[in-house]
Structure 1
């Protein structure tokens, strides 16, 4: 498939859709990841706390795709945000993955109550100098935390991965990121279970109506909406058919009015797991 790209400030090109891996583990996980790579995914997103970096590494080794054609991203856990611990954790993650470098490495959560994210960010910048990381980013960072990184280190992340879906479109965060040339990635781009909804996001009338209009399924409508917002979604799909369907979003366009309609679906307290970056503690 001809997948468009987003270009970061440092010139690194990221595929406009990636593959999320939370919960993908073991032999079955290797099979899922191998299928995803074979089906055309080139951006693979993992994290130390997903406990599957070994699985990802095995899938990469078993793939026929050249390492240079893959974009591998992982994330630093909260318990290792002190400077030296962060550097060691990055090294250990690379060992588990059998890789020499990460294309993209993120601080998983700001954990503001522990107040270590600046030291973690300094460690990421040092890892980049050492060639362990090509691009530094963050996840779940609010504008106030990003402002502090710039004030204290002089450097902003190139990527901010946040929860984003039709009920939580993150308008203010997206505007901030765009203004500062930070690419917004979306975790849980299709929403999730346990949200207290009377029906899944994919069953909302507007999403279904647009699917009928464009002869696409609801997931494809949502992912296309995110792409047209300038957001890079990271859906997870176990089956090959679903994996391929999620990639098949680049042959149609929603109108600007339809994009706006989906964005107006926003609801209060619509986070999938209620994880507010101001209070959430991730270790």
Structure 2
């Protein structure tokens, strides 16, 4: 069983640094894939209301027979449900699908700035946190200006910001902002959706030097930078290999090589303009 380290939030709660993400996992296949991940040693599962597979996650958790406190579960509030009262209703819906009494981490999925509801939404998050229904609250896809508003106008600081992050989008400035304000950085699409990044000659050279897959060295790059990372796969072999990144280390030069691939290249939406409800 891999020994996955924990990262500690600003409220003292710990999160396994590497987890299993279920974005774009077919709802019909989610239970099977999450069960495989749990068998492989993952103890951190990341889902969202928008993925429409919270029920599959819940079934896998129930069938795994693991103690509740051994598995860290994240879900996210979708844009259409932002607002104080609607957030509370959406949380109840997600919890029923997951079959949980207490959630480990709840995230606002996108700031959707044109709708300008994330402050009211965050106040609902603060209530859920104060009531003990969620152990930690955070955000996803927030830019520094969105975070500053939360810092200035609300009482509970987000523990984490989950953002697109991979060697082609290294997010160094945002990571520095997070560090300054004690917000953990979490990477979605950590492998750059595969494809071009996995075939990059620089990545291939580092992988060959360690007799590892390109995905493993990129995940190791995330880990050594202190980022929480949630790779997704539906292939049993890759589910197992993606968590096998804690028994080798990249050199300073190799880390610099991968960071040097940064192009500022987004594969997903721009958080400043993404306002889909």
TM-score (normalised: structure 1) = 0.95
For residue 196 of structure 1, what is the aligned residue in structure 2? none
Looking at structure 2, the residues matched to 104 and 44 of structure 1 have their Cα atoms a distance apart, in angstroms, of: 10
1:64-111 deviation digits (Å, cap 9, x = unpaired): 211111101000111111101101110111011111011000000000
For residue 248 of structure 1, what is the aligned residue in structure 2? 244
Task: State how 1:93-132 maps to structure 2 within 5 Å.
Answer: 93-132=94-133
C-alpha contact (below 8 Å) 1:163/1:186 kept by paired residues: yes
For residue 152 of structure 1, what is the aligned residue in structure 2? 153
Task: State how 1:195-210 maps to structure 2 within 5 Å.
Answer: 200-210=196-206
**3-state SS of paired residue (2:198):** helix
1:48-71 deviation digits (Å, cap 9, x = unpaired): 100111111111111121111110
RMSD of the alignment, in Å? 1.2
For residue 77 of structure 1, what is the aligned residue in structure 2? 78
Looking at structure 2, the residues matched to 155 and 145 of structure 1 have their Cα atoms a distance apart, in angstroms, of: 14
Looking at structure 1, the residues matched to 80 and 33 of structure 2 have their Cα atoms a distance apart, in angstroms, of: 29
Residue range with higher mean Cα deviation, 125-134 or 102-111: 125-134
Cα offset, 1:153, TM superposition: 0.6
For residue 259 of structure 2, what is the aligned residue in structure 1? 263
1:178-235 deviation digits (Å, cap 9, x = unpaired): 1111111100000126xxxxx6101101100001111111000000001111111110
The answer on 1:223 being equivalent to 2:219 is yes
Looking at structure 2, the residues matched to 282 and 179 of structure 1 have their Cα atoms a distance apart, in angstroms, of: 30
The answer on 1:238 being equivalent to 2:270 is no
C-alpha contact (below 8 Å) 2:16/2:44 kept by paired residues: yes
C-alpha contact (below 8 Å) 1:25/1:55 kept by paired residues: no
Q: Which runs of 4+ in 1 moved over 6 A?
A: none
Structure 2 gap ranges (5+): none
Report how many residues are paired: 276
C-alpha contact (below 8 Å) 2:220/2:250 kept by paired residues: yes
**3-state SS of paired residue (1:9):** coil
C-alpha contact (below 8 Å) 1:39/1:240 kept by paired residues: no
Looking at structure 2, the residues matched to 282 and 34 of structure 1 have their Cα atoms a distance apart, in angstroms, of: 32
Cα offset, 1:7, TM superposition: 1.1
Structure 1 gap ranges (5+): 194-198
Cα offset, 1:155, TM superposition: 2.9
Task: State how 1:12-51 maps to structure 2 within 5 Å.
Answer: 12-51=13-52
The answer on 1:278 being equivalent to 2:272 is yes
Looking at structure 2, the residues matched to 282 and 13 of structure 1 have their Cα atoms a distance apart, in angstroms, of: 32
